[in-house]
Chain A
Amino acid sequence: MEASRAITRSPVAQAREADHLLVQRIVRREEAALAEAYDRYASLVYAVALRVLRETSAAEEVLQDTFHRLWNVAARFDPARGSLPAWLAVAARHRAIDRLRQREPEADSDPDSNPGIAEIRLPFDLEDEVQRNRLFERVRAAMARLPQAHRTVIELAYFEGLTHTELARHMGEPLGTIKSRLRSAVISLRRELGSLDGASNSLER
Chain B
Amino acid sequence: MSEHPQFAEDIDLLALDLLGDEDCALLRAHLKECANCRSRFDEARSFAALLAFSAPPAAPPGRVRRKLLDQLRAGSRAERPAVETVESGTARGGDHEAHGRAGFWHWSNLGWAVATLVILAVTAMLSEQYRRAENEVRNLQAQMAAKQSELDRTRAVVDLLHSTDTVRVKLMSGTAPWPWPEGKVYYHPKKGLLFVAQNLPPVESGKVYQLWYVPENGSPLSAGVFAPDVHGNATLMTPPSAKVMAPKAFAVTVERAGGVPAPTGPEVLSGEY
A interface residue numbers (CB < 8 A to B): 29-32, 34-35, 38-39, 42-48, 50-51, 56, 59-60, 63-64, 67-68, 71, 83, 86, 89-90, 92-93, 116, 119-123, 133, 135-136, 139-140, 142-143, 154, 157-159, 161, 163-164, 182-183, 186, 189-190, 193, 196
Q: Does B130 contact A (CB under 8 A)?
A: no
Type the 1/0 row for B67-99, where 1 means its CB is closer than 8 Å to any CB of A: 111011100100101111000000000000000
CB within 8 A of A42: which of B12, B18, B64, B71? B64
Q: Are A193 and B64 in contact (CB under 8 A)?
A: no
Q: Are A121 and B42 in contact (CB under 8 A)?
A: yes
Q: Are A35 and B42 in contact (CB under 8 A)?
A: no
Q: Are A89 and B45 in contact (CB under 8 A)?
A: no
For B63, list chain A residues within 8 Å (CB): 60
Q: Which residue of B lies closest to A121 (CB)?
A: B46
Knowing A29-B76, A43-B57, A51-B56, say if A35 contacts B164 (CB, 8 Å). yes
> What is the CA–CA distance of A163 and B47 in the complex, to the nearest angstrom?
19
For A190, list chain B residues within 8 Å (CB): 47
Q: How far is the CB of A57 from chain B (nearest CB, A)?
A: 10
B interface residue numbers (CB < 8 A to A): 9, 12-13, 16-18, 20, 42-43, 45-61, 63-65, 67-69, 71-73, 76, 79, 81-84, 162, 164, 168, 170
| From B17, B43, B53, residue with most partner A Cβ within 10 Å | B53
> What is the CA–CA distance of A140 and B12 in the complex, to the nearest angstrom?
19
Closest 8 CB pairs of A and B: A51-B55, A31-B81, A46-B60, A89-B52, A47-B55, A86-B49, A143-B54, A139-B53
Name 23 interchain pairs, CB-CB below 8 A, sorted by A: A34-B72, A42-B64, A44-B52, A46-B64, A47-B57, A50-B56, A59-B60, A64-B64, A86-B49, A90-B48, A92-B52, A135-B53, A136-B54, A136-B57, A139-B50, A139-B51, A139-B54, A140-B56, A158-B51, A158-B52, A164-B20, A190-B47, A196-B47
Q: Are A136 and B53 in contact (CB under 8 A)?
A: yes
CB within 8 A of A48: which of B52, B68, B81? B52
> What is the CA–CA distance of A81 and B35 in the complex, to the nearest angstrom?
17
Q: How far is the CB of B13 from chain A (nearest CB, A)?
A: 7
> What is the CA–CA distance of A136 and B69 in the complex, to the nearest angstrom?
28
CB within 8 A of B60: which of A63, A120, A163? A63
Knowing A31-B72, A43-B58, A47-B58, say if A122 contacts B17 (CB, 8 Å). no
For B46, list chain A residues within 8 Å (CB): 86, 120-123, 196
CB within 8 A of A29: which of B20, B69, B81? B81
For A135, list chain B residues within 8 Å (CB): 50, 53
CB within 8 A of A119: which of B42, B81, B84? B42
Q: Are A89 and B53 in contact (CB under 8 A)?
A: yes
Q: Are B45 and A120 in contact (CB under 8 A)?
A: yes
Q: Which residue of A lies closest to B18 (CB)?
A: A157
| From B12, B46, B59, B61, residue with most partner A Cβ within 10 Å | B46
Q: Are B58 and A46 in contact (CB under 8 A)?
A: yes
Q: How far is the CB of A170 from chain B (nearest CB, A)?
A: 14
CB within 8 A of B79: which of A29, A59, A86? A29
Knowing A29-B81, A35-B69, A89-B49, say if A186 contacts B16 (CB, 8 Å). yes
Q: Are A193 and B56 in contact (CB under 8 A)?
A: no
Q: Are A60 and B64 in contact (CB under 8 A)?
A: yes
Q: Are B49 and A48 in contact (CB under 8 A)?
A: no
For A68, list chain B residues within 8 Å (CB): 68, 71-72
Q: Are A189 and B51 in contact (CB under 8 A)?
A: yes
Q: Which residue of A lies closest to B178 (CB)?
A: A137
Knowing A43-B170, A46-B58, A163-B18, say if A196 contacts B81 (CB, 8 Å). no
A60-B60, A68-B71, A139-B51 provided; 9 other pairs, C-beta below 8 A? Answer: A29-B81, A35-B164, A51-B56, A60-B63, A89-B49, A122-B49, A157-B16, A183-B12, A196-B43
